[in-house]
Amino acid sequence: PLQGHTDLVTSVAYSPDVKHVASGSKDYIVRLWDTYTGEQVGQPFQGHTAQVTSVAYSPDGRHVASGSQDCIFRIWDIQTSDYQNDISYTHSPHNHISFISPQGWLCSSDENGLDPSLIFWIPPAFRHGFSDSRQILTFPANAVNCAVQVDWIGFAYGSNWTAVWNEDGN
């Protein structure tokens, strides 16, 4: 048994290399464990103000994400036990549901729309980063092979596409 939490454990997750397990608990704490020795690794991750309901590792194994009933999602750096503030995200324009068509078009539709709108075509090399069904999180924000980041400020599409030009044609 892995001993250390002072209340019920609500979630566990293996690291990508299966050498560690993260656990979240009703004691508001996230802990890491060595799967070989059963010993706790590093300091507990403290910062939530309600029970931790979910934990997950980043694909590179350097971060642990935790969700809590305090309605806060935290991303922890395993080396420092600190939570990260450098998270990048993007979402589709106007929070419409978006998806990539088989032909590579980023499409958008409102919740009642039957006919999606084409937003723009995505080159094949970038499609893996667009799984945008409202939002993409990448941690850390400067990660190699992270989700494709899009700046939607000033983005015009559909019937408003001409809004990108000013009166001078620029």
CB 119 within 8 A of CB 105: yes
> From CA 68, how far away is CA 57, in angstroms rounded?
15
User: Which domains are delineated in the chain?
Assistant: 9-77 (2.40.10), 94-156 (no CATH)
Tokens encoding 25: 């608990």
Q: Which residues of 84-98 are buried (b: 16+ CB within 10 A; e: fewer)?
A: eeeeeebebbeebeb
**pTM for the predicted model, two decimal places:** 0.54
The mean pLDDT value for 153-169 works out to 60
Residue type, 60: D
- pLDDT band for 89, please (50, 70, 90 cuts): very low
57: CB partners within 8 A, 6+ apart: 13, 14, 15, 16, 22, 63, 64, 65
Over residues 91-106, the pLDDT tens digits come to: 444 555 667 777 877 7
Neighbours of 161 (CB within 10 A): 10
